[in-house]
Amino acid sequence: MTDLDELKADLLARVGAAENLRALDDVRVAALGKKGAISDLMKGLGGMDPDARKAAGATFNRLKTEIAEAVEARRDTLEDADLNARLAAERIDVTLPTREEARGSLHPVSQTIDEVVAIFGEMGFTVAEGPDIESDWYNFTALNIPPEHPARQEQDTFYLPGEADGQPILLRAHTSPVQIRTMLARKPPIRIICPGRTYRCDYDATHSPMFHQVEGLVIDETTHMGHLKGCLIDFCRAYFGIDDLPVRFRPSYFPFTEPSAEVDIGCTRKSGEFRIGHGDDWLEILGSGMVNPAVLENCGIDSTRYQGFAFGVGLERIAMLKYGIPDLRTFYESDLRWLRHYGFAALDVPSMVGGLTR
Ligand code: PHE
């Protein structure tokens, strides 16, 4: 075997033995690079006589081509192997079933707010909000609630340490302060509902120290008691989904409305059975009335020109009635089993609302 055959065999063996693209490149440089073995051979051509140079040149070039081809072939093999290894490692089995996703649900309070907002939204009401921490003035005084009113006593209202503008501060006991804030900030006509948290010092199966109300307020030049009745009858029927639900207005008293009416809906309570919509019994669900002119004046609204009505409803209460939830305290115990049982799939909301407002 000549030196050349040996060199060729050696280079081919090294090409074949290259385990990866980097090792292969090292072999390529050692053979074909500027300082490589074959380039070295080429450099020797200069010292040969013309005939020998011609023959040797052709031989060296063949060797160079052969080695270059071997390197290319090896590169293809290594690249294929690389790709196959990646494909094998990253293989995704598209036939596998997906993992079950943990899905949350809407709390009945959120669901009920959505339903109430949708019903009043169709009647042209917009949503207004206010702070949970209020001053005595917004929660009581501006609403014509006199200092001796029992609601002001500490056992009902959570007073907080400190003052704001020289006024005691407290956790709002109803959403009515949002009426005041809206009337101070905007000129009539006004048509708002205010869903929100409210606080009273009370705790049993139908009371929780924090609960929700939706308050409504309509102020303009022509609204009268007939509008109040029509609006609330429509609301009760839409919310409970009973077209002929009996609704009754019973005279009542609130300092901030005059006249005032409590709203009852028809129900049955017989031998332990309770049903809404039929029978000869009544259940109170709302407070309402024509806004007291004194409240309008407290908010800088001319009571000889403007009038309107207001109402307030306990959100948990109407949710309990509609969805058969017996104990109000369970709303806030964060028991997952309860939430799974009474919660709503988020996607149910649009169809539910559509069904209610028809
Ligand atoms: N603010 C009253 C309450 O909390 C409800 C109400 C609102 C009554 C508006 C009449 C008018 O009990």
Q: What is the CATH number of the domain that holds 129?
A: 3.30.930.10
Q: Are 79 and 112 contained in the same domain?
A: no
Whether 116 and 74 map to the same domain: the answer is: no
> What is the average per-residue pLDDT within 332-347?
87
Report pTM: 0.71
* Residue having the nearest C-alpha atom to atom 9 of ligand 1: 311
How far apart CA 40 and CA 348 sit, in angstroms, is 81
Nearest of 178, 147, 145 to residue 312 by alpha carbon = 178
Q: Which residues pair with 257 in a beta bridge?
A: 254, 291
* 56 and 201 fall within a common domain: no
Contact 36, 29 (CB under 8 A): yes
Record the tokens describing residue 5, joined without a space. 């055959």
Distance CA 242, CA 277 (A): 7
Residue 173 forms part of a structural domain: yes
Helix (H, G, I), strand (E, B) or coil at 25: helix
Q: Ligand 1 within 6 A of 219 CB?
A: no
32 and 126 belong to one structural domain: no
344 found inside a domain: yes
Would 132 be classed as within a structural domain? yes
Last residue of a domain, one of 37, 58, 89: 89
For the beta sheet containing 167-171, the strands, ordered from the edge strand earlier in sequence to the opposite edge, are: 133-135, 167-171, 159-164
For 281-298, the pLDDT digits (tens) are 999 999 999 999 999 999
User: What is the per-residue pLDDT across 146-183, written as a single tens digit (0 to 9) for each?
Assistant: 888 877 776 689 999 998 888 899 999 999 999 999 99
Give percent of the chain above pLDDT 90.
66
Same domain? For 76 and 139 the reply is no
For residue 100, tell me if it sits in a domain: no
77 and 117, same domain (yes or no): no
Work out the pLDDT band at 95, boundaries 50, 70, 90: confident
Q: Report yes or no on 295 lying in a domain.
A: yes
Q: Angle at which helices 21-32 and 50-89 pack, to 10 degrees?
A: 170
Residue 22 belongs to what domain range?
2-89
By DSSP bridging, strand 126-127 and strand 190-199 are parallel
Ligand 1 atom closest to the CA of 288, numbered from 1: 10
Number of domains, the chain: 2
From residue 71, alpha-carbon distances to 4, 36, 38, 268 in Å are 18, 14, 14, 93
Residue 176 Cβ < 6 Å to ligand 1 = yes
* Longest CA pairwise span in the chain (Å): 129
**Are 134 and 218 in a shared domain?**
yes
Rounded Cα distance between 35 and 267, Å, is 102
Q: Are residues 192 and 283 in the same domain?
A: yes
Q: How far is the CA of 288 from the centre of ligand 1 (A)?
A: 6
pLDDT of residue 348: 46
